[in-house]
A and B are shown apart, each in its own frame.
Chain A
Amino acid sequence: MVQIIDPKYKDADYQRQVTARRRQKGKRFQALGIAALAVAGLMLAALLYSIVSNGARGLMEDRIAVEVYFDPAKIDPKGTGELSVMRKFNYDTLVYPTLYEALGIKAKGRSDRDKRRKVKQLIGLGASNQLREMVVREVGRDPISDEAILVSGGTQLGDTVMVELTALSTSANPYTQTLRDLGMLHTRFNGDFFTGVNSNDPGYYGILDALVGSFWTLLVCFLASFPVAVLTAVYLEEFAPRNLITDFIEVNINNLAAVPSIVFGLMGAFVFIFVFGMPGGTALVGGLVLSLLTLPTIIVAARAAIRAVPGSYREAALGLGASRQQAMWSFVLPSAMPGIITGTIIGLAGALGETAPLLFIGMVGFQSGIPLTPVDGTPTLAVGIYNAFGSQFDELKNQLSNSTIIVLLVLLMLLNGTAAYLRYRSEKRQ
């Protein structure tokens, strides 16, 4: 029994004071908490606003519809009819005269030079390629002479064709509105973004290769890390003797999780590419490098999940004469599986957003189309954000970069949502 010496403890006024002070403290703490939450919320809102406002714009594109006369005198002035000659022409120059005429700009002379430059900014490198492909296409290379194998694109010289081209940097261009009023420029959904592949020309940039590359990379990453991580966790939790070696391994697994990812990139470049001779810049190497990052995440999650399995299952199975392996496979592992899968998904979500180590092993700047296998060179979505932005600031590139971020974030939300759902379901079952 505690002796209360100070009589004021029984005083009603004193008790009121203490209660008021305690409530005030509680309120202060609550206010601090709300303030912290508000700051975090504002930051998130700012981030989302920047991404969505830019990214949504990148999902739309401006198109210029223009009649193009494939002038034989310009494309093939000597009249040779050779595809290799036609291929060398800068086709974008065919577009300008029509645009100058529509906008009332003189095609020659000093006075309108700045205006002509503005118009040219609307038409990118991709437009030239698009028009060239209408006339002449490269379908491959001769294995002996290494010369390009060319075929006709279908359009004959002398034809006049209505063509739609992607317009670049339209919001800063003074002629955008005029062209729109003339009915030559309109805005539409940027389908190329989802069906196209990495391109230097932001007008033709797409993420399909990066999307497929990300899929292959995550698949390799999962296949390489999941079995290893689960077996490691099972062994460490259930079978390993407690001694210095296992303690050492345990500490180092946690260390592995703290190593900056770029270090794994350098290591991957050396070990996988130079030592084992795997093809650089591929999903295979990328997945293996990322598996080093996801490994500790999955191991830690799996060990926690295994430890959380009620000991009574194990005991009951052992009491019936099951071996430790049997108890493990029949009860412990199945009960721990939701937790292990949740950890795996979180690990893979981290890998999906990883960029630095992939740049190191050369998963960047590929323009080789959609990777059909894990051993094709490919970027991933996260690298795609970097690719889209490029080395120079450009309005459209910035928008495309943000659009890629949106796609990445949606995928991350799907992954994390799956993890949350699995967690919820396993909690409900218990």
Chain B
Amino acid sequence: MSDDEIRMSCKGVDVAYWGELAIKNVSMDILSKKVTAFIGPSGCGKSTFLRALNRMNDTIDGCQVTGEIKLDGNDIYAKGMDTVFLRQWVGMVFQKPNPFPKSIYENVAYGPRIHGLFRTKSELDDIVEQSLMGAGLWDEVKDRLRNPGTGLSGGQQQRLCIARAIAVNPEVILMDEPASALDPIATRKIESLIKSLAENYTIVIVTHSMAQAQRVSDKTAFFYAASLTEDDDSNLIEYGDTDQVFNNPIDERTRQYVEGAFG
């Protein structure tokens, strides 16, 4: 995989809440048009690290990020970096489906509207249609675009949120346990959607499901919270090809975790 293009690169990233470390010294490269999974027990900081990748932590009081995170070579914590643009490039899908209390159409159109991504109404219609198609939702909702997005089923809502995220044409999509609130069938749909999205987008997904990480991801990163206080120089324990992390882990703790010994 030596010809892989690096989309985001992180070097020595620390994230602290009110001075207390939640992420210690994480360095990793996130590859373009691949699915990268973050796994680890609860409280290990994987979601915190994910949110550091598009500065969603900025809105949290007392949160301090140090180290260097670059998107296509540009430091996203640099002074001149505007979070509005950053989050257009690095979109986010949340754990619980959170459509806006608006119509399906308006949910998808909101991003393009605030970023001014279209000139005419028909261009916006195209963006909405393509985004919903991209999220595999178009056939289900094309006849009721004016219905409220909150009226959809949980799985449909989550795919609407994905459509909303890709409508602003991001390069990276961050997903924070996107299927954890869904039933198995809806989960399968989201998973296959993630794989197809990887053809065009770089995807980083936090998941609690080992099976899901194995099914959807190309690369896997294992985070471990106890390392924050122990002697380890980082709480990113292991990062490599998914196949290798699950079948032939280097670190003993990774092996125990993927075998289900704790978590």
Contacts and interface: CB of A to CB of B under 8 A. Distances in A.
Nearest to B161: A316
Interface of B: 54, 56, 59, 61, 83-88, 91-94, 96, 98-101, 110-111, 114-115, 161, 164-165, 168
Contact of A321 (B88, B99, B161): B88
B98 A321 contact: no
Contacts, number: 64
B74 to A, nearest CB: 16
Most buried by B among A318, A326, A331, A335: A318
Contacts of B61: 242
Contacts of B101: 313, 331, 335, 429
A394 interface: no
B115 A313 contact: no
- Chain B contact residues: over half helix, strand or loop, or mixed? helix
A323 interface: yes
A319 B84 contact: no
Given A319-B56, A320-B87, A320-B164, 5 more contacts: A317-B100, A320-B88, A320-B165, A330-B114, A331-B100
B114 A320 contact: yes
Given A326-B114, A330-B110, A319 B87 contact: yes
Top 10 A-B pairs, shortest CB-CB distance: A312-B98, A319-B92, A321-B87, A321-B88, A320-B111, A316-B98, A321-B84, A322-B114, A326-B114, A323-B84
Contact of B59 (A242, A313, A318): A318
Chain A interface bracket (under 10, 10 to 19, 20 to 34, 35 or more): 10 to 19
Contacts of A242: 61
A335 B91 CA distance: 24
Nearest to B88: A321
Contacts of B115: 321
A138 interface: no
Nearest to B167: A320
A315 interface: yes
B111 A321 contact: yes
Nearest to A241: B61
A331 B88 CA distance: 18
A319 B165 contact: yes
7 contacts: A316-B98, A316-B99, A316-B100, A316-B164, A319-B87, A321-B91, A330-B110
Contacts of A429: 101
Contact of B87 (A310, A312, A313, A318): A318
Contacts of A317: 100, 110
Contacts of B165: 319-320
A168 B137 CA distance: 78
Contacts of A331: 100-101
B189 to A, nearest CB: 20
A322 B112 CA distance: 10
B85 A321 contact: yes
Given A321-B84, A321-B87, A313 B100 contact: yes
B91 A319 contact: yes
Nearest to A430: B101
A313 B110 contact: no
Nearest to B89: A321
B138 to A, nearest CB: 20
Given A321-B168, A326-B114, A316 B85 contact: no
B28 to A, nearest CB: 22
B54 A319 contact: yes
Contacts of A318: 56, 59, 87
A421 to B, nearest CB: 20
Interface in A259-316: 310, 312-313, 315-316
